[in-house]
Amino acid sequence: MKLKKEEIKKILCIKPRGIGDIVLSTIILENIIAHFPSVKIDYLVENFAKEALLNNPHINKILTMRQSEFPLKVALRVRKEKYNLILDLWSNPRSAQITFLSGVKYRVGYAYRGRKYAYNMLASSTRGNHHSAEHNLELLIPLDVPVISKKIHYYVSDNDNSKGKEFILNNLGSTDSIVGIIPSGGWSSKRCDASKLVDICSAISSIYKTKFLILWGPGDEEDSNYIINHLPGDAILAPATSLSSMSGLINNCSIVLANDSGPMHISAALGIPTLGLFGPTNPKMHGPYSDNSDYVIKEELFCIICNLQKCRYKHECFIDLSVDTIMQKVESLILKNNIRLFKK
């Protein structure tokens, strides 16, 4: 189908879940707005994921749905919004159904097997070896939208930022030299062992005058408590928070060390120098997407980038990851970004 540019006034982007995936999908926004200057862009996500898009000035409205909600019911709500164009950034069987049943004139999705029926404008299904953020840009090709920006977007409210700063000041005395540690990870195999994180923090603390802030979410309690109970020097455990409140804390860190996770991508999107710790997933495709960040991985390990949710061995990708190698990456980020971490 040939798109008529003048018809595009209202666009729906579908990306139901995965906090990091949603943040990475925002790479399309500046490009769409530049090509369709008067357009309004809405997002459809699952209820829990709404916070990944709050405060984003490029987004007009956030629609939500339940994970188990019947696709036709969702599609009927979408119909009422009278969109001209849908970008199915997920293109899984369920989002394909919603797109097909929406009645929207222009429907763009990936040419995945069994789902092409839902779309009348198809993007390549080949992921290649580029970053998953850039895979979203494939959907712009059939629209003839030029790529002028590769920026991902996440925004912290002034209130959450102020509360984050206040918490750090009250508990650590200063917002200088704050190293954020995020033990989160959607799979058990993606979580760097708590004991290894303690070793990393100990190495940092032996060289730099630092203060550690342990940031955590549901399911991270055991690792977070282990870390805070074994850390040397000044360290504080963040309180139980919403994603938005956690982001306010992240935004006041000097540097962040994180597993492959949604908070890692948020940290990178906020411009915080971020070191991603990788094992079962490919950092070239899923690493922190910013020029001032980096990743570390034990590349020579025989089972590295296994993409398994549970390790079949002894988690060697993290247990045997050299602390010296990690420290080289940390020191490189400190120098590159002029981070205020002073040596002892």
Hey, what amino acid is at 144?
Answer: D
Q: 143 and 31 in contact (C-beta within 8 Å)?
A: no
Query: What values do phi and psi take at 85, rounded to 5?
Result: -150, 135
Q: Kind of pairing, strands 85-88 and 10-14?
A: parallel
Architecture of domain 5-143: 3-Layer(aba) Sandwich (3.40)
Angstrom distance (rounded) from CA 279 to CA 261: 12
Angstrom distance (rounded) from CA 104 to CA 249: 40
| Residue 40, H or E segment | strand 40-46
In degrees, rounded to 5, the angle at the alpha carbon of residue 161 between the alpha carbons of residues 155 and 167 is 145
pLDDT tens for the chain, residues 1 to 344: 889 999 999 999 999 999 999 999 999 999 999 999 999 999 999 999 999 999 999 999 999 999 999 999 999 999 999 999 999 999 999 999 999 999 999 999 999 999 999 999 999 888 777 899 999 999 999 999 999 999 999 999 999 999 999 999 999 998 899 999 999 999 999 999 999 999 999 999 999 999 999 999 999 999 999 999 998 678 999 999 999 999 999 999 999 999 999 999 999 999 999 999 999 999 999 999 999 999 999 999 999 999 999 999 999 999 999 999 999 999 999 999 999 888 88
In 3D space, the residue among 245, 248, 241, 262 whose CA is nearest the CA of residue 17 turns out to be 262
For the chain, residues classed under CATH 3.40.50.2000 are 5-143, 158-337
Does the domain at residues 158-337 carry the CATH identifier 3.40.50.2000? yes
Q: How far apart are the first and last CA of the chain?
A: 64
Q: Residue 313's CB: how many other CB atoms inside 10 A? A: 12
- Model pTM greater than 0.75? yes
DSSP 321: S
Q: Residue 187's CB: how many other CB atoms inside 10 A? A: 17
Q: 294 and 321 in contact (C-beta within 8 Å)?
A: no
Helix axis angle for 158-172 and 243-250, nearest 10°, is 60
